[in-house]
Structure 1
Amino acid sequence: MLRVADIFGRFPQLETEQLILRKMRKDDARDLYEYASDPDVSRHTLWNAHRSLLDSQRFLEAVIEQYKSKEVTNWGIEHKADRKFIGTCGFVYWNPDHRRAEIGYALSKSYWNQGIMSEAAHAVMQFGFKKMLLNRLEARCNVENIGSERVMQKIGMTYEGTIREQLLIRGKFEDVKLYSILRSEVSLEC
């Protein structure tokens, strides 16, 4: 049986054609603040738009602590051409006993509609099925978050249904769409 520390004890770096998925660092704070302070980016998230650079620094400190504790967490997305930190993608949870996990992500608005998040999510999905030996990978989004839903569709996930009023976000109960993909439905790349 795999344990979280077996996989995330030495946090792996992933690379795609356009991206490096890596540990987040304290010096990512300005790039993080640049997109996390944008209300359009945080509109459908559980977190509020960052109001100051300090909010971004605190977020990074929390993630860095998760790396040290060998917990399941997010990769920072670095755009190769720009050498810029532009978002996050990773696992919201992992249940090794049931070989099931959920992914989540956020991306700077400057990089929307370019296939970047689909590329990052695909890399994380491949990692999950190959290294974590997942049987099932899930993702969720608010019903109004069309961009996030498109990412799920592009990486081959199947819509399973809408979970009514699952999340309380900024004082309003939100319906959430559930997508998943199974190991048997994935072509594992070498």
Structure 2
Amino acid sequence: MNLTSARLVLVEVSWYDIPDIHRLHSLPEVDEYNTIGIPESEDDTRDVIRPWIEDQKNERRSKYLWKILKNCSGEFIGIAGMSMSSDKFISGEIFYKLLPSHWGNGYATETAITLIKAGFESFHLHRIEAGVATENIRSVRVLEKAAMTREGRRRKILPIRGEWRDNYHYAILEDDPRDY
């Protein structure tokens, strides 16, 4: 399942995308608020994305991972994902990571909006959530621009480089107002 927006195309990842994903995950700027840490090798990256790729075979999917490409050039600029609940709550959780050279251009907001629209229109979700480290001001702004509501703060829930960090919890409901 591919998703498109005005400037981006999100294409489901494959094993061929490991070098690009490894390069993304290896950047200290990207790792600053990441709980997985910097992978030591492409094999480590393969292990991280394995569940996402293997889920593509399932009839009833619970995980989607896309590479983010500029639609004008096909250039890889990051990844985005959505995990679905497997229960009566009909919810999903989104995330995104971009190469730092593409920060500040609105691509993260465009990606978040694309994921939210797909969540409601294609996956028929009731609720879409996202978590963000409280210090990650850039992502806080992205989620708020995407019309998500901060619902609370989870204390010391993120294990980042041996230290426990707080997390803001954001969500948007299918009937919440949004201008997209």
Residue 115 of structure 2: which of 98, 111, 124 is its match?
124
Q: Aligned pair count?
A: 178
Corresponding residue of 2:101 = 110
Instruction: Check whether the contact 1:164–1:176 (CA below 8 A) recurs between aligned residues.
Output: yes
| Structure 2: gaps spanning 5 or more residues | none
Deviation at 1:106, TM superposition (A): 1.2
Corresponding residue of 2:149 = 158
In structure 2, relative to structure 1, the CA distance for the partners of 1:48 and 1:75 (3 Å cut) is: same
Corresponding residue of 1:3 = none
| 2:39 matches 1:50 | yes
| 2:165 matches 1:174 | yes
* Residues in 2 aligned to 1:81 and 1:130: alpha-carbon distance in whole angstroms: 25
Corresponding residue of 2:82 = 91
The root-mean-square deviation of aligned C-alpha atoms, in Å, is 2.0
Partner-residue secondary structure (3-state), 1:45:
coil
| Structure 1: gaps spanning 5 or more residues | 1-11
* Residues in 1 aligned to 2:107 and 2:127: alpha-carbon distance in whole angstroms: 23
Deviation at 1:132, TM superposition (A): 2.1
In structure 2, relative to structure 1, the CA distance for the partners of 1:80 and 1:27 (3 Å cut) is: same
* Residues in 2 aligned to 1:188 and 1:65: alpha-carbon distance in whole angstroms: 35
TM-score by length of 1: 0.83
Identity of aligned residues (%): 30
**Counterpart residue identity of residue 124, structure 1:** L
Partner-residue secondary structure (3-state), 1:181:
strand
**Counterpart residue identity of residue 106, structure 1:** K
Deviation at 1:13, TM superposition (A): 0.9
Partner-residue secondary structure (3-state), 2:63:
coil
Corresponding residue of 1:23 = 12
TM-score by length of 2: 0.88
In structure 2, relative to structure 1, the CA distance for the partners of 1:17 and 1:141 (3 Å cut) is: same
